[in-house]
A and B are shown apart, each in its own frame.
Chain A
Amino acid sequence: EVQLVESGGGLVQPGRSLKLSCAASGFTFSDYNMAWVRQAPKKGLEWVATIIYDGSRTYYRDSVKGRFTISRDNAKSTLYLQMDSLRSEDTATYYCATGYFDYWGQGVMVTVSS
């Protein structure tokens, strides 16, 4: 059974940092591109970043470029999202998903507020 389990969310002040993790199991993690998708409260889904299966390339939405870093550890089957210089508009539930959005984690809430 495919499982994606996110962790690391919480309440953080504007300008501070947070690192999300996503532990994968039930599939060959190193074969899959992976993505982070977020959903602000009562809003739709918004792609955040993608990393290629071997970590060789990364892609970001414009609003997080230079602030967020997606990475992966294939030996640990784990995906990461380092979020720096957080803003109130980054408040959302963050989902880890496979690259074509076929499998999703349960999500983790990130609240940016003073």
Chain B
Amino acid sequence: DVVLTQTPPTLSATIGQSVSISCRSSQSLLHSNGNTYLNWLLQRPGQPPQLLIYLVSRLESGVPNRFSGSGSGTDFTLKISGVEAEDLGVYYCVQSTHAPPTFGGGTKLELK
């Protein structure tokens, strides 16, 4: 199975600070069809996960544009340009290029 390693496991930030989360895959996530099925999710406390970014860098409808995704192959990054209070929670990367789909271990974003 593909292993997704997220770093850091915990991130402390102040409001307005820009932060980045890394997701590294044990193998390339480039599908034979040319797509890279790497998504980013946010799970706020007590809530189900919600999609932020799909196909590495495409912003889900309704998600603020302070969120951005980048990367290719095995290395991916989620950036938040100016953290807001509503961004607190646990961020997960998830891949569905290879079966079975797998999730990263999560990065908890806290207020400093």
Contact = CB atoms under 8 A, between A and B. Distances in A.
B92 A100 contact: no
Contact of B50 (A44, A46, A100, A104): A104
Chain A contact residues: helix, strand, loop or mixed: loop
B106 interface: yes
Interface in B55-112: 60, 90, 92, 94, 96, 99-106
Interface string A29-70: 000000100000000111100100000000101000000000
Nearest to A35: B101
A101 interface: yes
Interface residues of A, number: 18
B30 interface: no
A47 B1 CA distance: 12
B48 A105 contact: yes
A99 interface: yes
A100 B37 contact: yes
A101 B60 CA distance: 12
Contact of B105 (A44, A95, A100, A102): A44
Contacts of A95: 48-49
Contact of B106 (A44, A61, A101): A44
Contacts of A35: 101
A101 B48 contact: no
Contacts of B102: 47
Contacts of A100: 37, 39, 54, 96
Contacts of B48: 95, 104-107
Interface of A: 35, 44-47, 50, 59, 61, 95, 99-107
Interface of B: 37, 39, 41, 43, 48-51, 54, 60, 90, 92, 94, 96, 99-106
